[in-house]
Structure 1
Amino acid sequence: MFKKLLPLSVALAISGCGGSSDSNEDEAVVISVASTSTVNFYVPQWQSAKGTLNQLDSQGNVIDSVAVDNINTASVSVSPLNFYTFEFVPDDSALPCPRFTGCGRTLRGDVNDLNENRIIDFEEITGVSLNYAARAYVAPGVNEVFFSPMSSVITENNYDATLASLAASPFYQLTHSNLSNTLEAEVVANAFTYGAIVAGVSVEGFDLSTAFDDFITEQADTSAWQTYSSIADQYLADNLYSEQGNGLIQSVAGQVKQTVASVTTFKNWQQKTETEQQLESRELLEDVRDALGVVRLQDSTYADDLDAKLVELESALDDDTQQAITVLANVINEVLINYSPLAEVSASEGQYTLRELDITYSTSPYEWVITGTYDGLPVNIDMSIPTFRVSGVLGDKIEGVMSASVINGDTSLNVDVSELLVEFDGIDSQSELLPDAQTGIANITTDVVIVKPSGELSGELSLDIERFVSAFAEEVTSLSAFDFSGQFQSDIQTTPFHITALEASPLTGDENDDLMFGLELALPLGGASDFSLAYVGDVVDLSQLTSTDVFVSIQQKALDLRIREVNSNISLTAKGENGRWLDVKQSGSNYSGGLYVGDTKIADVTAVRGIPGVLFPNGDFESVF
């Protein structure tokens, strides 16, 4: 994967080692750190930005306070290399409904229901109020903190959100960033805040802290957390499928979906451990060597092992698999909205034909036998659904069991008498182009097994089907997103996975022509039993990570690796925890770059006797690889 970054013969000779050099060929850097660092803040747009910014001690007492006219343009100066807890208290706690299609029903006579339709519509004031806090490490230079209800809950419980965020820093802070990093963090904060507002309206007595605690302590009823997680995830679709949406979201949609999915499903939360940070710490170099050693070095069998596993996973998630998943979702959706109690015109039991499908529909009990082809793929589905909830406000809900098979060449998707849950959002957003169109979101959840020549994918599959009106005034049904959590098993691996996918540009082009995938993989390897990898991008590039961004963790240490190759020249940026990052540029046999904390360079990257490494001001030389 990183084979071009260093010839294997050199890597085997120097991997895992560090050393000193008396070379005077390179001038050592002089470390100069400013006495203060800057912290900027962000709160989502639905919250009033005027209020009070507090700094809290470890017991939650206010030790400093400042009034701000706009928290999103405010900043504070503090000493670097320390941890701080910040809290924002808005002057106006009122929150409008952020969902374009409305936030759910309300009681008759609610003063906030301005049009008296007993629904809190978009931008009508809700009865929800939220808290905003975050504990963050401040590195030298400019830092950013992104407030949301989730950052508050994590801070209140003193949890470490780094691994859950699939990043070198928690999802709510940045110590070294670029424009896309900032946008991604803002959208994540928006999603978590959006979820809390909508859930606060639609779920009676909803409390995010309680819902989160019930989930991580594995209580019997975690429905409030599942509802919150689902709504937070829907923030992306709400924007991507609406002309009113934020057009900038498309560029970071895949990363945001993966982050939200990871944080809301992560269970191994640990208390945050804070140690005193030394400016010239070499911990990041050790973490980088461990990561590159597992991925590429130490023993060539490790590299071959990892490459073989990634190639298998790549082939398992090919177009045939994606098409089979799409067909399963579309068949269930179309049959239920045409031949069930959910149909606009009630259908009696009997024999029906839909496209090239033959459907036998019974109503006592509700059962369907579906055979034939759909989009050219053979389909066989048996469904039995004893429970229907038909509600125009809460949304229709279906619970039952299903057996199914969809065949696509060498790919076989099977459901073996699995529980089936189908939920509709209960919202019809009227389109001026096609006023009679039935629009909204359907979510389908079931257990599946996908058999491929290379192995078998098995786990829980959750699919979102979006019904919307296209720019051509056509009612379109599209697989807008899916989450697939389970394991891939073959002759050479048993790999737990969490796969997310999102249609990033649904309003342009053909259906599902821009699926953005996120993959989180646990890949135990020799010498690194807890190695994991996360990646967002095209599945066909999974085994060719020479010009992309990837997150890895080993021994509970997180690293963001950014690899770029241009004309055989390699650039590697490795971001570690607490604002530390390494920049390595290779041009032929020449190496340059630096080791940084925030914006402060603490050592130079160079080559000594042909070996790339980091030269510290005191003359110590540590190999990079």
Structure 2
Amino acid sequence: MLKQIIPLGVAIALVGCGSSSDSDSSESVAVSEVSTSSSVNFYVSNWQSPQGTLNVLDSDGVVKESIEVENINTASVSVTPLTFNSFEFIPSDTALPCPRFTGCGRTVRGDVNDLNANRLIDYQELTAVTLNYKADAFSAPGVNKVYLSPLSKAITDEGFSATQASLSATPFYHLTHSNLNASVEAEMVTNAFTYAAILAGVADSSFSVESAFNVFTNLETDQQAWQDYSDLAAQYVTDNLFSDQGNALLKNVAGQVKQTIASVTTFANWQARSAEVQSLDSRELLVDTRNIIGVARLQEKSYSDELDAKFTELEGAFDEDTQRTLDALSNALNEVITNYSPLADGSTPSGQYKLRDLDIDYNQSPYTWAITGTYDELPITIDLSIPTFRVSGVLGNKIEGVMSATVTNGTTVLSVDVSELLIEFDGIDAQSELNPEADTGITQVTTNVIINKAAGKLEGDLSVNLNRFVNSIGEESTTLSTFDFNGGYVSDIQNTAFHITAVEASPFVGEDNDDLAFTFELDFPLSGASDFKFAYVGDVENLSELTSTDIFVSIQNRALDLRIRDVSGNINLIAKGENGRWLDVKQKGRNYSGGLYFGDTKLADVTAVRGIPGVLFPNGEFESLF
């Protein structure tokens, strides 16, 4: 039962025996007069000219204010606190350059934007794409920042809430109280969704983010435009990490950015955003925090026994053995197809070949491969049949077919049972001064896999990107750059939906894949919390720890960001709720401090009354935290 609000004097008198009753999330109690104000700052990706018109619209879509701005990224507007508004940016100069370091593909002869007349849209040459920018946001007290992109416009125009899709207490395009990493992450996500819109528009002049998003959310049959847009957004991350021209700030938030992009572009339960009037002194965040304590025992720095058992089992399911089988399958496919297919130099004829410890029986008309042996010391068998084989220097090579395969690593057995296979090459060959002859680019392998473990079974759709690049000493290197596994894990104790991603954050440092940033999005049906959702970025072996970590949780469709730090037994917890509410709790021994905030406005102090941690309001009322 949730502890009821009680006056401070009563709390002191009852501390020995305690008291509890139900608490209403809508309940609020008057606090002393607090003066609040709200302002909104903005961010638009730097490919777009920052000069233009900023429109502020109310919740009915009526323009309340129209402002000419010299630079949208330095503009700030004052708004009424605790209101919902939309913000629209119309750039004066709509021209957009190619944002990809390796260029944006072919163009027609005589294109006025093709400055070097090579019939290619090179990096930073202008494209014919134009974009629109809009986002809705709740104005929390203090400074808000809104990140404008074509996708934020599509979501806003549809009237959807992006909170759950963003795996965050606020949508990916809105920050209230935040730290530097959160700001950098929001900028990188905005860049990714803008980057993808430009590239998709270059590839298909009829492409529209709004149209693709509408088809996606309506679950229509042809999702290709949305899938292409999603892939390009994810490509922004590796494009920057695998280039010495890339954004150096991305490395520290690569996992978070990858997870947000993956979640937003695959989220299936879009709901209308709420415009419920918010009360400054509402205590809904305290209720949300207490609701999570049943599964995440923050005061004990541990999870519930049920959740802990499931986490421990999942750590074993996603272990190094599992990762090695996935690597072996992806790399073997890439290496065989690159060397023994129409893609190979000289178009390798049918025949039997030896690739280190692999025996390959390759046939043409139709194209088939029988592959047996070991790869990276793991037993492997692959049977491929590929009726569709596109070889194109403009669109990139594309292979569609059917595959059966097994990879064995001790008790871990990966199998592909007559599953559709898609292998795509990006068609971009970025010449390196260190090794001009190197064959560089991105290979994407997509299929359905089953991985049997000692305790259970993983099954889902796997998509792996392999980057071929020239390293610092001029050698051609192939490394797993991104990994996306979307499916479910079934065992005797759980049936858990998962979405796992990984990105190589430091491709030019150390050995291949020694800096993979893993992310986990898990849907846990728990006793008393059937809709519990959990998201985490970090090492899989730390999944079950609740000491120093950042996690996202959701219960009853209410989102919380939890930042937990344990220093020498002293705990610091920051819980961020929806609409800019947050709670700061510092515990040192039996002493507690901190505060309950709404944006930059402090509503109450965190303290302890005879060992009971809680929140003390200005009117003397006290509410326990746990």
1:185 is the counterpart of 2:186: yes
1:402 is the counterpart of 2:403: yes
Contact 2:31-2:281 within 8 A present in 1 as well: no
Contact 1:160-1:269 within 8 A present in 2 as well: yes
Code of the residue aligned with 2:261 in structure 1: it is: V
- The answer for the alignment partner of 1:213 in structure 2 is 214
When structure 1 is superposed on structure 2, of 301-310 and 441-450 the one drifting more is 301-310
Contact 1:423-1:442 within 8 A present in 2 as well: yes
1:151 is the counterpart of 2:137: no
1:467 is the counterpart of 2:453: no
- The answer for the alignment partner of 2:18 in structure 1 is none
Code of the residue aligned with 1:22 in structure 2: it is: L
CA distance in 2, matches of 1:492, 1:299: 24
- The answer for the alignment partner of 2:591 in structure 1 is 590
Matched residue SS, 2:8:
coil
CA-to-partner distance for each residue in 1:66-90, whole Å, 9 max, x for gaps? Answer: 1111111111112211111111111
When structure 1 is superposed on structure 2, of 63-72 and 566-575 the one drifting more is 63-72
CA-to-partner distance for each residue in 1:387-445, whole Å, 9 max, x for gaps? Answer: 01110010111000001111112211111110000011000000000001010001000
- The answer for the alignment partner of 1:20 in structure 2 is 6
Code of the residue aligned with 2:438 in structure 1: it is: A
Code of the residue aligned with 2:497 in structure 1: it is: P
- 1:107 Cα deviation from its structure 2 partner: 2.4
When structure 1 is superposed on structure 2, of 174-183 and 55-64 the one drifting more is 55-64
Matched residue SS, 2:74:
coil
- The answer for the alignment partner of 1:620 in structure 2 is 621
CA distance in 2, matches of 1:427, 1:33: 58
CA distance in 2, matches of 1:590, 1:21: 20
- The answer for the alignment partner of 1:55 in structure 2 is 56
- The answer for the alignment partner of 2:100 in structure 1 is 99
- The answer for the alignment partner of 2:20 in structure 1 is none
CA distance in 2, matches of 1:203, 1:546: 48
Residue pairs, 1:29-48, within 5 angstroms: 31=32, 33-48=34-49
CA distance in 1, matches of 2:565, 2:32: 28
- 1:118 Cα deviation from its structure 2 partner: 2.6
CA distance in 1, matches of 2:456, 2:10: 55
- The answer for the alignment partner of 2:438 in structure 1 is 437
Contact 1:302-1:526 within 8 A present in 2 as well: no
CA distance in 2, matches of 1:34, 1:394: 58
Matched residue SS, 1:531:
strand
- The answer for the alignment partner of 1:8 in structure 2 is none
CA distance in 2, matches of 1:300, 1:68: 48
- 1:546 Cα deviation from its structure 2 partner: 1.4
When structure 1 is superposed on structure 2, of 528-537 and 314-323 the one drifting more is 314-323
1:79 is the counterpart of 2:80: yes
CA spacing shift, 1:131–1:34, aligned 2, 3 Å: farther
CA-to-partner distance for each residue in 1:131-155, whole Å, 9 max, x for gaps? Answer: 1111111111111111111111111
CA distance in 2, matches of 1:437, 1:422: 20
Matched residue SS, 2:563:
strand
- The answer for the alignment partner of 1:137 in structure 2 is 138
CA spacing shift, 1:50–1:432, aligned 2, 3 Å: same
RMSD: 1.9
Aligned sequence identity (%):
63
- 1:25 Cα deviation from its structure 2 partner: 11
CA distance in 2, matches of 1:116, 1:398: 32
Contact 1:495-1:521 within 8 A present in 2 as well: yes
Q: Normalising by structure 2, report the TM-score.
A: 0.95
- The answer for the alignment partner of 2:242 in structure 1 is 241
1:343 is the counterpart of 2:329: no
When structure 1 is superposed on structure 2, of 102-111 and 232-241 the one drifting more is 102-111
- The answer for the alignment partner of 2:16 in structure 1 is none
Pick 1 or 2: higher relative contact order, CA cutoff 8 A, min separation 6.
1
Code of the residue aligned with 2:8 in structure 1: it is: D
CA spacing shift, 1:400–1:341, aligned 2, 3 Å: same
CA distance in 1, matches of 2:33, 2:477: 59
- The answer for the alignment partner of 1:326 in structure 2 is 327
CA spacing shift, 1:330–1:266, aligned 2, 3 Å: same
CA-to-partner distance for each residue in 1:133-190, whole Å, 9 max, x for gaps? Answer: 1111111111111111111111111110000000000000101101111000000000
CA distance in 2, matches of 1:81, 1:176: 15
CA spacing shift, 1:31–1:388, aligned 2, 3 Å: farther
- 1:375 Cα deviation from its structure 2 partner: 1.2
- The answer for the alignment partner of 1:119 in structure 2 is 120
Contact 1:134-1:147 within 8 A present in 2 as well: yes
Contact 1:394-1:426 within 8 A present in 2 as well: yes
Structure 1 residue runs without a partner (length 5+): 1-14
CA-to-partner distance for each residue in 1:80-122, whole Å, 9 max, x for gaps? Answer: 1111111111110100000011112222322222223332111
Contact 2:37-2:80 within 8 A present in 1 as well: yes
- The answer for the alignment partner of 1:4 in structure 2 is none
CA spacing shift, 1:413–1:599, aligned 2, 3 Å: same
Matched residue SS, 1:214:
helix
Code of the residue aligned with 2:416 in structure 1: it is: V
Contact 2:101-2:123 within 8 A present in 1 as well: yes
CA spacing shift, 1:105–1:574, aligned 2, 3 Å: same
Contact 1:141-1:600 within 8 A present in 2 as well: yes
CA spacing shift, 1:205–1:531, aligned 2, 3 Å: same
Q: How many residues align?
A: 610
- The answer for the alignment partner of 2:22 in structure 1 is none
CA distance in 2, matches of 1:489, 1:325: 19
CA distance in 2, matches of 1:109, 1:458: 51
- The answer for the alignment partner of 1:514 in structure 2 is 515
Code of the residue aligned with 2:341 in structure 1: it is: S
CA spacing shift, 1:31–1:67, aligned 2, 3 Å: farther
- The answer for the alignment partner of 1:499 in structure 2 is 500
When structure 1 is superposed on structure 2, of 590-599 and 35-44 the one drifting more is 35-44
Residue pairs, 1:557-568, within 5 angstroms: 557-568=558-569
1:385 is the counterpart of 2:371: no
When structure 1 is superposed on structure 2, of 56-65 and 406-415 the one drifting more is 56-65
- The answer for the alignment partner of 2:570 in structure 1 is 569
- 1:59 Cα deviation from its structure 2 partner: 4.0
1:88 is the counterpart of 2:89: yes
Code of the residue aligned with 2:7 in structure 1: it is: S
CA distance in 1, matches of 2:580, 2:299: 28
CA-to-partner distance for each residue in 1:581-610, whole Å, 9 max, x for gaps? Answer: 011111111111110000111011111232
Q: Where has structure 1 moved over 4 Å in runs of 4 or more?
A: 28-32, 297-302
When structure 1 is superposed on structure 2, of 228-237 and 267-276 the one drifting more is 267-276
Contact 2:53-2:91 within 8 A present in 1 as well: yes
When structure 1 is superposed on structure 2, of 372-381 and 289-298 the one drifting more is 289-298
- The answer for the alignment partner of 2:284 in structure 1 is 283
Matched residue SS, 2:231:
helix
- 1:507 Cα deviation from its structure 2 partner: 1.0
Matched residue SS, 1:601:
strand
Matched residue SS, 1:341:
coil
- 1:16 Cα deviation from its structure 2 partner: 2.2
- The answer for the alignment partner of 2:203 in structure 1 is 202
Code of the residue aligned with 2:201 in structure 1: it is: G
Contact 2:31-2:617 within 8 A present in 1 as well: no
Code of the residue aligned with 1:314 in structure 2: it is: E
- The answer for the alignment partner of 1:426 in structure 2 is 427
Contact 1:294-1:527 within 8 A present in 2 as well: no
Structure 2 residue runs without a partner (length 5+): 13-28
- The answer for the alignment partner of 1:477 in structure 2 is 478
CA distance in 2, matches of 1:301, 1:50: 50
CA distance in 1, matches of 2:608, 2:138: 32
Code of the residue aligned with 2:113 in structure 1: it is: N
Contact 1:500-1:517 within 8 A present in 2 as well: yes
When structure 1 is superposed on structure 2, of 264-273 and 607-616 the one drifting more is 607-616
CA distance in 1, matches of 2:536, 2:123: 35
Code of the residue aligned with 2:406 in structure 1: it is: S
